[in-house]
Structure 1
């Protein structure tokens, strides 16, 4: 399996993490209210108020209304950094949905699928522009600058621009008040992995797992690095924790568990892992990859190097 396919496998959860950073942060009006004795928070600007409504719409899946509120916020304040950040998350989510439709819900390679891929790329470019604008407008020391920088690393990984992903991840880590450091470390480690630097990848991903043991994207990626480092026992350990966690529907973790189990001679465990890989999304491109390991030639495939 290509590293590009492995990157696709975790994209949904990475974007969900960005969405979570929106969900976990109070709106601008709420922050201002916390800083003043006025319970009505009359100091909240019109842009702040529109942004808070956009966040509520975003949480409720009302994405078009969220976009409308963000437009109003930016009309009121063209430098409203939080609005640019949420706009970027919405664009990423839309792009992810298009990719999932042609690679996870089905495995399509026709001309229409190519059009959808190009549209997804366009949405990611627009998201990159929104995140870059957010970085430019956040004040020095703002936690939001770290979130936006890390989001730029996500977009860079999508475009296989690993040097840019490293740059943006490091920029996020330099922000003192950026709380989700494990996410930036995860993207930094994956960029190193894509460049073939397994030692640096292992180092960054281990730190990410230490900071947040429940962040399944970090564990999944660490399992892949261990697999490529010829450490199948460690790969099984990390992949197993992802597979057994119902909060972590990462299909590719099942593939990693299957390949690592085969390398350890555990054919039954491998068969179960490949089977569950297929069951998670039977019509996906990754399911096709896992299916070939369910046949009698699986051992020979792994002997030749596996996916």
Structure 2
């Protein structure tokens, strides 16, 4: 039996408890108690959540769980973890199989020194702060969840559900995890490589010309979107357009177009049953193989793996 301990602190984000449903229904689908869930806090007793609901907890014991789920708070910038909590997380992590930072719970893991040298993620709104405060951590904002050498971290809020399903898949296999996702009416069981937000929003160009070029690109992904073609749509020379585009978005036009194509293809895979050959063609990839190459390089997962999870 897998013993999962939830380490809660005052003001914890209540969505952390929502992930318990994933393990609850893993037990239902497996028709046995595979997971035992217990809520803990450093001192035990009642702990108030971010919405005011009070949860009864047991006093934390380092040996009580083989997986520790560390909750986050709504605003980690104004929250300080206690020394007792950090000491517990460090010691418990050295004894258990997995340590998980749910959403901004990654800040607690970082404060405890557990994220040094590891690939991690957190809610997109706080990713830059996490990167600045803890430069030894390899923060990847464009991920739903990440596992690196026994440390799991998730992006914001509902992404923690995907992380929990990832744990179930790790323990019990993809077939059972997919059944759990169906029972929970989760439209798609995301495997961790998905973006947290739209590339169009994150590029945030300052000028109307660059914005117009991006909008043209997104509306014509199947076309040959060279620098020359994009520059023509906004009446600039290719050289001038490329320089302005890079200055305003931080990316080359080719890289931005690639990201828009990946995002569009990902949405088609998640929301429909189109053949991968059709998805590749409609989004400007040479063929299915090219689509896979770009997906693996940018998202860390293949299109086929996303399609498999839909099955």
Taking structure 1 as the reference length, what is the TM-score of the superposition? 0.31
Select the structure that is richer in helix: 1
Select the structure that is richer in strand: 2
